Structure 1
Amino acid sequence: MPAADASPSRYDVRPPDNAPAVAQHRDPLSGHATAPPRPITPGPIAVLPEAHALFVTAVQRAGGEVAPLSADTRGLLWLSAGRADELDQILTDYPSIEWVQLPWAGVDAFRDVLRAHADGPVFTSAKGAYAEPVAEHALALAHATLREFAPKARAARWAQQRTGRSLYGLAVTIVGAGGIAAELLRLLAPWRCEVTVVRRSADPLPGATRTVPVAELDAVLPTTDVLILAAASTEGTRHLMDARRLALLPHNAVLVNIARGPLVDTDALTEALASGNLLGAGLDVTDPEPLPDDHPLFAEPRCLITSHSADTAEMTAPLLAGRVDENVRGFLAGTGLVGIVDPRAGY
């Protein structure tokens, strides 16, 4: 079992000792299982690279059998957001595996694995499960950047004039229409914002003022006060916000990224902030990640960076355990799975 003996990675899912037994947040996709694209044979489940008790218990509570990798293995709970090469080798060596549960909402770290095994096991992720804590963080960053918390805190002295914008009644654009966007719509309701959701299609997202396809993003940006990026990281969304699109935003607009760093051209954003073409940026994710310690964004007064902490281990561990519990039940009973990934689309 190569993965079980490998040294741990900083991307491994490690629930803290004080992780609550009951989730503080709810999983909005719970109870919304869908049929897998092909039949799955139930059987023993391996928990790797490290079999943490919280997740082993979740499998067993749902009636699953946790067992070492073998020719009988039918399910795999992969508890690392990295180590993709090890996962690829396991799936090659154990073609009996028919279902793989990945740990995070975003699966971009496994892009090559998904493509290589697109016709193999059914993959599920935690997409949607972490919507509440991440949406909460996005809203906090929106408030902080609009109110100019970063430059005021860095000044470390009494400001000569009062500055900042209120969120009430502003035009908010959310790129992405998944669980985070849905939760943001609920959270933004008290601020009476006009919210535009940008997604692959124009199918309306309940709660949005309007929903437009990504082809209309350029038309939306000039009237956007708050731009929140909540889309998957794919080849098609890489540098979605490049220098040209950043220039379409009003100078008093703010950008919030709680999705993935590559959605934004980091050099272009650095220049836009330095030249005063944006009021501010709140970044929980960056490209590269982590940013080098001497990167100019750390010194940029208009930029607030929170080091990928929108969902901490204390928040996500019980949510992932709940998703595992639900999917093991569906895996064993053949009633469907939550968070099925399209391996070719990458989300």
Structure 2
Amino acid sequence: MAPKQPDIFTQAVTTSGGELIDLGPDTRGLIWLSNSRVGPLDDVLEANPQLNWVQLPWAGVDAFSELLARRGRPGLIFTSAKGCFAEPVAEHAIMLAQALLRYLPRRARATSWDSTFLGISMYNKRLVIVGAGGVAREIIRLVEPYRVHVTIVRRSGVPVPGAHLTVSSDQLRDVLPDADVVIVAAALTTDTRNIIGREEFDLMKPSAAFVNIARGALVDSVALVETLTSGHLVGAATDVTDPEPLPDGHPLWTAPNMLITPHMADTPEMTAPLLAERVRRNVAAYLAGRPLEGVVDPSLGY
């Protein structure tokens, strides 16, 4: 386990029948707990060709994309935390969407009582989710009581359980004009970078709410600022930015009806127990020769 060994992860390994040992010729599996220290992991893989399983710490593996492309080989399995943090992230996404529909960015900045009655209910609305992973599926489950019509946009177009409609990525622009809420919950790859730009924003209804809960680089932030400044969209909210952290003075901070949370949809308090449970199950599966959860396809980047 590297580069550190918090007790919760140590217990996850040992209670599932695994043994923690110093990295060496007898090491077969590695739990990597840093999302930012890609270089050291590359060095570890170079020096330890006997490794056949690496557990990565987060659902998104874009930080490791070059490493995955370089180090991916038959016999070496990478797993991520995809699906682990779906519940808190989906919860946060819906909270942001409802805040926009109820005009909370404007209300929160008000300095006097506004008697204008503005607000949109989520009930019976049309929701487009870009992405079909664990977060998207949890959003589908959580919005069911709202009688929301859900459209999923995914690379393959294969139907997603619970969604009323699933379309492939090349049909994204076809479904945007009818959306009341658009939530981006996709993995960041070379194909999805800036998947939402000026043309996509122009296709959305002026009354639509836009939420990015995945990665900042999925959205053209310049186009987003221009869209909000023009008054097109009821508002936008994001838990992620590009660049991140978002610098002081960046136009997104002051864009009209913009709501920003600082990558807090899945705080360490929430994620540590969830990742530890994924580690526990994967160690048990690894020892028993069963399929692992969250397997990453290096060629796809997720």
Paired AA for residue 156 in structure 2: S
Task: After TM superposition, give the deviation of residue 293 of structure 1 in Å.
Answer: 1.2
What residue in structure 2 maps to residue 251 of structure 1? 206
Task: After TM superposition, give the deviation of residue 275 of structure 1 in Å.
Answer: 1.0
Matched, 1:158 2:106: no
Task: After TM superposition, give the deviation of residue 202 of structure 1 in Å.
Answer: 2.4
How far apart, CA to CA, are the structure 1 residues paired with 2:248 and 2:10?
A: 37
Within the candidate set 139, 153, 162, 1:207 is matched to 162
Task: Please state whether the residue corresponding to 1:282 is helix, strand or coil.
Answer: strand
Contact in 2 for aligned 1:284/1:305 (Cα 8 Å): yes
Q: Deviation per CA, 1:245-274: give whole Å up to 9, x if none.
A: 111111111110111111100111011011
Within the candidate set 30, 49, 57, 1:76 is matched to 30
What residue in structure 2 maps to residue 85 of structure 1? 39
How far apart, CA to CA, are the structure 2 residues paired with 1:244 and 1:338?
A: 37
Q: Larger RCO: Structure 1 or Structure 2 (Cα < 8 Å, ≥ 6 residues apart)?
A: 1
Paired AA for residue 248 in structure 2: D
Alignment length (residue pairs):
301
Paired AA for residue 152 in structure 1: R
Matched, 1:342 2:294: no
Contact in 2 for aligned 1:256/1:281 (Cα 8 Å): yes
What residue in structure 2 maps to residue 194 of structure 1? 149
Within the candidate set 279, 286, 290, 2:245 is matched to 290
Paired AA for residue 312 in structure 1: T
* TM-score normalised to structure 1 length: 0.85
- For 1:26-175, list aligned pairs within 5 A: 47-119=1-73, 121-175=76-130
Give structure 2 stretches of 5+ with no counterpart.
Answer: none
How far apart, CA to CA, are the structure 2 residues paired with 1:101 and 1:248?
A: 40
How far apart, CA to CA, are the structure 2 residues paired with 1:324 and 1:301?
A: 42
Q: Deviation per CA, 1:320-340: give whole Å up to 9, x if none.
A: 000000000111111110000
Q: Deviation per CA, 1:68-94: give whole Å up to 9, x if none.
A: 111111110000111111111110011
How far apart, CA to CA, are the structure 2 residues paired with 1:156 and 1:140?
A: 23
Give structure 1 stretches of 5+ with no counterpart.
Answer: 1-46
Task: Please state whether the residue corresponding to 2:176 is helix, strand or coil.
Answer: helix
Within the candidate set 304, 308, 320, 2:259 is matched to 304
Q: Deviation per CA, 1:148-192: give whole Å up to 9, x if none.
A: 101111113211311121111111000111111111111111111
Contact in 2 for aligned 1:134/1:311 (Cα 8 Å): yes
Stretches of 4+ aligned residues off by more than 4 angstroms: none
What's the Cα RMSD here?
A: 0.9
Identity fraction in percent: 53
